[in-house]
Amino acid sequence: VKNNNPGLKVYVTIGTGQSGPDTSLINRAASAGLTVDAWTIMPFDFGGAGQNMGALTQRAAEGLKTALKNA
């Protein structure tokens, strides 16, 4: 699809845990040669009251960055 539509952008949004997302989808995309323009995570509801959502979101984003580098 992207070859026939060079202006098409591919964005993938996936769920995540506190340490980052499951890497299976990222690894399969890399193995298949899929070119993704941007990956995003949904860092929602990491636990009960008293959680530092800012710090947990940052940790999840770092986990995504690591997963992408390793794929």
Radius of gyration of the chain (CA): 14
Domain residue spans of the chain:
11-70
Give me the residues paired with residue 48 across strands. none
Asked if 7 and 47 count as a contact pair (C-beta separation under 8 A), the reply is no
Q: What is the pLDDT of residues 17-69, one digit of tens each?
A: 999 999 999 999 999 999 899 999 998 877 777 888 899 999 999 999 999 99
Candidates 65, 48, 57; CA nearest to 18 is 57
* Distance (Å, whole) CA 60 – CA 23: 12
pTM (predicted TM-score): 0.86
